[in-house]
Amino acid sequence: MGTPFELAVRDDLRRQIPNLDSDRSWIIENSLSVSRFDQYRHLDVLDNAVKHDTTLRTEFGREYRVVPDVVIGVERAGSEPLLHAVISCKWSMRSDRVQNVRPEGATLIRHRRGRAPHFVVVTCEPLPSRIAAIAMTTGEVDRVYHVTFDETQEAVAKYGTPLQRDTWNEMVGQGRLRDYNSLAATLTLT
């Protein structure tokens, strides 16, 4: 479900965001390197140096290269576009891979030059514990947006264990987990 899910999120945001904010010229793409945007242009210089120097390649690897599932940029007259948001799309979160998202957010923060983009996760994951592993972090991820928020909330309330209910309520109460339907409006506020 990975690529179809990414494309569905991208296409949905392409429909919504320009209608919510037509004053900006939006770039909404999937699988586009962050080095295409002003805050991360320098990564192409770093990449070129690393490719041609084994010592640098050994020291730095290529962990700084980020090609997100969905990027949202804003065109700017006379300069490079600004990366506004990065969206990691996870249909579900396997317990052994749930933490893969956090290094992507940390890399975006660590390697930027200028303002940090929003970094959010969109998911359909039904288990509160797996969502919490990403939502209840220390700042690598702004927020998790759930595609089936209402249905999952109802299922957790009706069938979840006390721990699952508490976890879900804590994530929602702290603003760490929101309905996907609020994502486009949130992204156009800033």
CB atoms within 10 A of CB 161: 11
- Look at residue 4 in the predicted model and tell me its pLDDT: 93
Tell me which H or E stretch contains 40.
none
Q: What is the CATH number of domain 2-189?
A: 3.40.50.10010
The pLDDT score that the predictor gives to residue 59 is: 67
Residues 6+ apart with CB under 8 A from 28: 10, 13, 14, 17, 70, 71, 72, 73
- Contact indicator for 129, 94 with CB cutoff of 8 Å: no
**What pLDDT score does 85 carry?**
94
* Total residue length of the chain: 190
Angle at 174 between CA 152 and CA 5, to 5 degrees: 40
Q: How far is CA 105 from the centre of its chain?
A: 8
Q: What pLDDT, on a 0 to 100 scale, did the predictor assign at position 57?
A: 63
Q: What are the residues whose beta carbons fall under 8 Å from the beta carbon of 95, sequence distance 6 or more?
A: 130
pLDDT by residue, tens only, the chain of 190 residues: 678 999 999 999 999 999 999 999 999 999 888 888 998 887 767 666 667 677 766 666 655 566 789 999 999 988 899 999 999 999 988 766 666 777 677 778 777 888 889 999 999 999 999 999 889 877 788 999 999 999 999 999 999 999 999 999 999 999 999 999 999 999 998 7
